[in-house]
Amino acid sequence: MASAVVMPKAGITVETCIMGKWEKKVGDRVNPGDILFTYETDKASFECESTAEGELLEIFFREGDEVPVLVNVCAIGEKGEDVSSLRPDAAGLPDTTAVQTSTAERPSPADDLSAETVKSTHVDGQDSKDAESETGILKISPRARNLAERSGADVRLAVPTGPHGRIIERDIRTLLESGAALKAEGDAPGQAAGTSTAAAELRVPESIGYKDVKFSGIRRAIAKAMHSSLSSMAQLTHHHTFDASEITEYRKKLKNSGGDESGITITDMILYAVSRTLINHPDLNANMIDENTIRQFDHVHLGLAVDTPRGLIVPTIFNADLKSLLEISREAKMLAEAARTGSINPDLLKGGTFTVSNLGSYGVEMFTPVINPPQTGILGVCSIVQRVREVEGRITTYPAMGLSLTYDHRAVDGAPAARFMSELVKNLENFTLLLAK
């Protein structure tokens, strides 16, 4: 009897996942433990192993589909077995078209638009009813229309090959390759009589190279969160610098120690200092629950922004204010590695009360970090630059490190934010004293 493989639930808060790449195709023989497909949440990617032995009979979702967790994604059994009862639509879910093994070319999702959408299509700046075909409507996909507008192709000359007589992108490309793509001179608006020979010889290239890159689930989540952050908060940024002489010297001692402490970085020291400073500034160690409520936390749960191949991910160091410098250093490295490899538990990507984002290694001297909702603040860490100052009548240089605090002005005013930064700067400039407290 055929059995189904379901979309795994990757974390207690995950409700849907995005289908990644299918590693097996219909007709392949699979065994328990074989990798069937990859999938991703809004923060990490995973591999799904087969839970059954047999032939992959049918695939219910395509790559890129958003699939609810614990829903059947494919059927495994013996050749000829009925799988109709295993299809998601049989369980009352929205109807989905099974992915077949045919290699025939399919129009992209952007090309496969409904007739209702096509009726609103504009051609060359005119309403579609001015460019009607014999059937009444010129049907063209957005991607085809975009290519036609950029290349100057006359869409009326294209031969539609899309569903229901629709012009799709490949039809425009075929038209461009044929050499009959450009609009007739009489159709060009505003073209003056007596155009020079040189100008008349100018032509749009037959092919314009480009590629469309779809956002991954992680990229979509980042885009949504950042847009929501900037559109829903009153964000303001303070820029400060401090004398990094003590932490750079301390870093050298740790590196030369040869022990476990040798891996402690300047970023780890800043995380440690932030965790000790934030505890005295509850409005910055907080979440905005609604327009009228701020939730202040008893301990610091520190978010660490990590650059990964899939985009920015922010894992959380819980109870950072209770951990030693070495413990923070070790945990930060483990979280960053898990985030980069896509193996991090999604439950470690939430619960933060404040975030630290370090762009100093890229030479950034000042920037405006964007708050990670519903937090009320984020600290940007910048590069170290040599600055000059007068000491006892002599001009000397010192390593100055930049810090950029963005805070939600609904929850925190300018003076309290400045007091937090003043205390943080003092703690960093006197780091060994901070360790003794």
Tens digit of pLDDT for each residue in 259-316?
Answer: 889 999 999 999 999 999 999 999 999 999 988 999 999 999 999 999 988 889 999 9
Q: Can you name the residues that pair with 59 across neighbouring β-strands?
A: 74, 99
Domain 217-436 belongs in CATH node 3.30.559.10: yes
Q: Where in the chain is the domain with CATH 2.40.50.100?
A: 3-91
Residue 189 pLDDT class (50, 70, 90 cuts)? very low
Q: How far is CA 267 from CA 124, 237, 305, 312, 333, in A?
A: 54, 20, 11, 17, 11
Bridge partners (DSSP) listed for residue 381: 358, 403
Strand partners, 248: none
* pLDDT confidence of residue 244: 97
pLDDT digits (tens, 9 = 90+) for 83-132: 989 988 754 444 433 443 333 334 444 344 333 333 333 333 333 333 33
pLDDT band at 148 (very low <50, low <70, confident <90, very high): confident
CB distance 262 to 255 below 8 Å: yes
Q: In this structure, how many other beta carbons lie within 10 angstroms of the beta carbon of residue 170?
A: 18
Q: What is the DSSP string of 32-61?
A: TT-EEEEEE-SS-EEEEE--S-EEEEEE-S
Encoded amino acid at 110, one letter: A
User: Average pLDDT, stretch 27-53?
Assistant: 87
Q: Which long-range contacts (CB under 8 A, 24 or more apart) does 156-159 make?
A: 156/131, 157/181
- Cβ proximity of 287 and 276 under 8 Å: no
pLDDT at residue 389, rounded to an integer: 93
If you search the block for the tokens 């590693």, which residue do you land on?
A: 23
Q: What confidence category does residue 432 fall into, taking pLDDT thresholds of 50, 70 and 90?
A: very high
What is the reported pLDDT for 111?
41
Pairwise pLDDT comparison (48 vs 12), residue with the higher score: 48
Q: Does residue 339 carry a pLDDT above 50?
A: yes
pLDDT value, residue 180: 63
pLDDT for the residue numbered 90: 57
Topology annotation, domain 115-200 = Dihydrolipoamide Transferase (4.10.320)
Amino acid identity of 181? A
Q: Above 80 in pLDDT, residue 252?
A: yes
Q: Name the helix (H) or strand (E) containing 20.
A: strand 16-22
CATH 4.10.320.10 in the chain, residues? 115-200
CB 98: neighbour CB atoms within 10 A? 17
Torsion angles phi and psi, residue 220, rounded to 5: -65, -40
Portions of the chain given CATH number 3.30.559.10: 217-436
Task: Answer whether 0.85 is exceeded by the pTM.
Answer: no
Tell me which fold the domain 3-91 belongs to. OB fold (Dihydrolipoamide Acetyltransferase, E2P) (2.40.50)
